[in-house]
Structure 1
């Protein structure tokens, strides 16, 4: 950190360090650093995706939903963003929202079995809850 409280280096270094923190099992620190980077480069898809992943892994599901939603707003055909939003919504207990975005992810990438598995799981949870 510098004297101003900003991390050392530039945005790219922050991004790389955030990915290292995420891979190293410290998603909360990664989310903090990546949030700082997205303040400087708010339109960076790579930063926003890494931030959303870190927020999700840190259990900050509502924040992850917002970050994935921003990715979708920029590119409605982003299957990974729909998948991530669906996972975060599922963990937050928002099963309708989760099912909607997981179904979109499956429609965009039917070849990815883990998308379909998550959708089936959310639909099963939703059905159990409706009983």
Structure 2
């Protein structure tokens, strides 16, 4: 009986470790909140995301990503990559253009009138990107590839 309990605990531990590695390094699920990505994404949409592209530095212009908020690292943001390192973007509140520095990306929400993004906090370090959105899986009637 004791042996069976230890065996069951060991199996549970192994499954937990595998699940942790999958969610940490391969992909996970994210619930969107807020209007910044409307009409592409709505509040309470559930996304399947992958972690491999950010690890391999394969983020591309147009990708929807999940990143740590540069203004509040306890919060995640969901935005679209508009410009990559070396690209020129129109600077916020200015006529001058701004070049995205090496190691950074320019992020903007699809709902530009209601989005705090790089126009507010500037270029975002690539190291803050956690994952890339691949598929909207909820609500079921709106399942759609995002790549």
More strand by share: 2
Q: TM-score, normalised by structure 2?
A: 0.26
Q: TM-score, normalised by structure 1?
A: 0.28
More helix by share: 1
Structure whose CA Rg is larger: 2
